[in-house]
Chain A
């Protein structure tokens, strides 16, 4: 097992390095730097600014500085837009918020999705199953950016129950809508995957054997069916994690929750490459880390996998 984790780490580290290098080079290949604006700066001023940010040095020196900065000091460098804030500040203020509602959404989508899928599979071809299939199929077409305005219309404008945005230190009223908006479509996908793999499991021989020896249905489900049925769901959690991270950008923008997303979008508009690059790398690192966790969990749960 340890060897397997070690081998996976060996793949994860070059992946991260590659990601950083590709993003860095892309950024520098872009026409127009962060300081090209409407108003032309005098060449001497521009040269001074570029010298301050180290942009006048050869490309590989810049890359080396950037890489060592991240790896040794966990320093993503200064922001090109704000004089008094560097990328670390942007991340430090926004990340806890994103992490909070992201985690809640992730857990909610997984738990509710799995429960719904199992229920639909157990009550196969009943009204409940049909409703679950219909709802989840349509809900897959409700991404966060569609859910967010719909929720605001219903709960803020019509009913007046929830505030339409803000964070307020994470009070529950402010968390409800971001979480629902972020989790709906993934909940639906998870439910669909769970349902189909549960149906397949319930029709397999070992379940029939368990029924034949007279085990009660509840025991069959918990003891025998659930684990193999959840394997496909487990491998789907990686993509869900990526999608949720990405979706948080929409949530931060629409609900003004104060996460990293809004900073990221603003950075994109202002060509603040340092912030964009920092956020992309942070999210890339999280993704790689999470897929590592999923793989290890998979290998741990599935007896068929040898490592």
Chain B
């Protein structure tokens, strides 16, 4: 009895084994990105931050359809007494209260969060494109070109950028595009150093030598063989650049030198709110501050999680 049972279970095991072996052919290798995904979603803080960020983005996208007031209308009936009549309330339709001029802070916050996220993304994109290409070219070409290009970075990194961006903003009448360009164009330096280091280690690998032996041109090698291998590092630092860009933009907007009215950003709203705390309208500071902190901290956590997931060396 026991023997038959044993042999039966043995048969079962063998059957399952053959089944699994036959399936094994179908099992695909675990790619870097698959591993990274598993690691990232295993990181509770990063996943939580991702959820928060998605909620913030959803708020920017869907929020306007719940707004009773637009971001430009002035609520004349309540603007005389913002400290009491302009409090956040559901009945008046001003969910986040009124701002200093009697405009709806709910709509203004949506607008500001959208601007800040956009500046962060575009600024980081510009910085990543410039930094990656510069670093990859410098690292791949090597020799005195590399030396000269990196010395230039050394020199430029010693410049207090904020002042250059402000100078640009003042000259070009605080235009939105100048802000993008200014922030992006001054933040690629660290990126280029990292990319150069990575490229140096890739330059003499077999697949690059094979491409060179095959007669592929230098630029094509960089685009087709070097860049894809840099993607992990680039993605990580790009994610960490986004909050940095938002911080820079908020800094400039806090000084009143950023985007101009009626456009607004979180830094601008924080500045306005900070200027009026003496009048008992504390929500004007707390609302934009909350959105600012939610965005920045969640981006930090996501960047950190991505680094752990994609750049295991750094753990």
- Decide if A145 touches B159 in the complex (CB within 8 Å): no
Q: Please, how many angstroms separate the alpha-carbon atoms of A245 and B285 in the complex?
A: 25
| Majority SS at the chain B contact face | helix
B62 within 8 A of A: no
The segment from B25-33, B94-102, B111-119, B166-174 found at the interface with A is: B166-174
B105 interfacial by beta-carbon distance below 8 Å: no
A245 and chain B: residue at smallest CB distance = B160
**Across-interface contacts of A157 in B (CB, < 8 A):** 277-278
Inter-chain contact B154/A145, CB cutoff 8 Å: no
In the complex, the chain A residue whose C-beta lies closest to that of B45 is A137
**Chain B: interface residue total (CB-CB under 8 A):** 41
What chain B residues lie within 8 Å of A135 (beta carbons)?
A: none
User: Are B171 and A26 in contact, with the CB atoms below 8 A?
Assistant: yes
B292 at the interface (CB under 8 A from A): yes
Q: Which single residue of chain A is at the shortest CB-CB distance from B289?
A: A146
Q: Which one, A138, A143, A283, contacts B251 given CB within 8 A? A: A143
A145–B300 CB distance below 8 A: no
B163 contacts A149, C-beta separation under 8 Å = no
Nearest CB on A from B53, distance (A): 13
| A297 part of interface (Cβ distance < 8 Å) | no
Binding site secondary structure of chain A: helix
Identify A145's interface contact among B155, B172, B250, B301, CB under 8 A.
B250
| A254 and B274 within 8 A (CB) | yes
- Given A148-B274, A265-B257, also A287-B151 (CB < 8 A): no
Interchain Cβ contacts within 8 Å, total number: 109
Q: Given the known inter-chain contacts A11-B154, A149-B270, A287-B159, please indicate yes or no for A268 contacting B164, CB distance below 8 A.
A: no
- Find residues 93-145 in chain B having any chain A CB closer than 8 Å to their own CB: none
Q: Is B167 a contact partner of A276 (Cβ separation < 8 A)?
A: yes
Query: Which parts of B283-303 form the interface with A (CB within 8 Å)?
Result: 285, 289, 292-293, 296-297, 300-301
Whether the Cβ atoms of B296 and A141 lie closer than 8 Å is yes
A100 interface residue per 8 A CB criterion:
no
Q: A191 CB to closest chain B CB, in angstroms?
A: 15
- Whether the pair B168, A149 counts as a contact (CB closer than 8 A) is no
Besides the contacts A31-B171, A145-B267, A145-B274, what 17 more A-B pairs have beta carbons closer than 8 Å?
A11-B155, A15-B155, A141-B293, A145-B254, A146-B293, A149-B274, A149-B277, A153-B277, A254-B274, A265-B255, A280-B163, A280-B167, A283-B160, A283-B163, A287-B160, A288-B158, A291-B158
| 13 chain-A/chain-B pairs, Cβ below 8 angstroms | A23-B167, A31-B172, A143-B247, A146-B270, A146-B289, A150-B289, A238-B158, A250-B251, A265-B256, A271-B170, A276-B166, A284-B160, A284-B163
Residues of B with Cβ closer than 8 Å to A? 151, 154-155, 158-160, 162-164, 166-172, 243, 247, 250-251, 254-257, 267, 270-271, 273-274, 277-278, 282, 285, 289, 292-293, 296-297, 300-301, 304
Task: Show the binding face of A for B, using Cβ within 8 Å.
Answer: 11, 14-15, 18-19, 23, 26-27, 29-31, 137-138, 140-143, 145-146, 148-150, 152-153, 157, 238, 242, 245-246, 249-250, 253-254, 264-265, 268-269, 271, 276, 279-280, 283-284, 287-288, 291
